Amino acid sequence: AQSVTQPDIHITVSEGASLELRCNYSYGATPYLFWYVQSPGQGLQLLLKYFSGDTLVQGIKGFEAEFKRSQSSFNLRKPSVHWSDAAEYFCAVAQTWIKAAGNKLTFGGGTRVLVKP
């Protein structure tokens, strides 16, 4: 069964500093990978996705993520954090090889990002 692990429950970063959120997945084939962000009291907003091809993908709000097959990782990065980036971030995987199964997402437990002034 597929699974996603986000090792860091909380991360505190100063405004203007760089940010990296870790994500490790377990899946038998090349997965479809996603990063979502959730602000308090709101739903999930898609930041970026990886399906195939270039292993460095660009997303919205200045975020990027790198797929590393050898490490089963899909880490999210941002060069310079803004106070508005304080939120919870979720990594998710969708299975690719059972089309009839639709696009069920399996999420990690999330990483809460706090931004210091």
Partner 1 sequence: DAGVTQSPTHLIKTRGQQVTLRCSPISGHKSVSWYQQVLGQGPQFIFQYYEKEERGRGNFPDRFSARQFPNYSSELNVNALLLGDSALYLCASSLGGTGGDQPQHFGDGTRLSIL
Does residue number 103 form part of the binding site for partner 1 (CB under 8 A)?
Answer: yes
Count of CA atoms in the C-beta half-sphere (13 A) of 28 = 5
Applying CB under 8 A, which of residues 15, 24, 73, 107 lies at the interface with partner 1?
Answer: 107
Contacts (CB under 8 A) with partner 1, residues 10-49: 31-32, 34, 36, 41-46, 49
Cβ pair 21, 13 in contact under 8 A? no
Query: Minimum distance between the CB of residue 102 and partner 1, rounded to whole angstroms?
Result: 4
Could you list the residues that contact partner 1 (CB under 8 A)?
A: 4, 31-32, 34, 36, 41-46, 49, 51, 90, 92, 94-96, 99-110
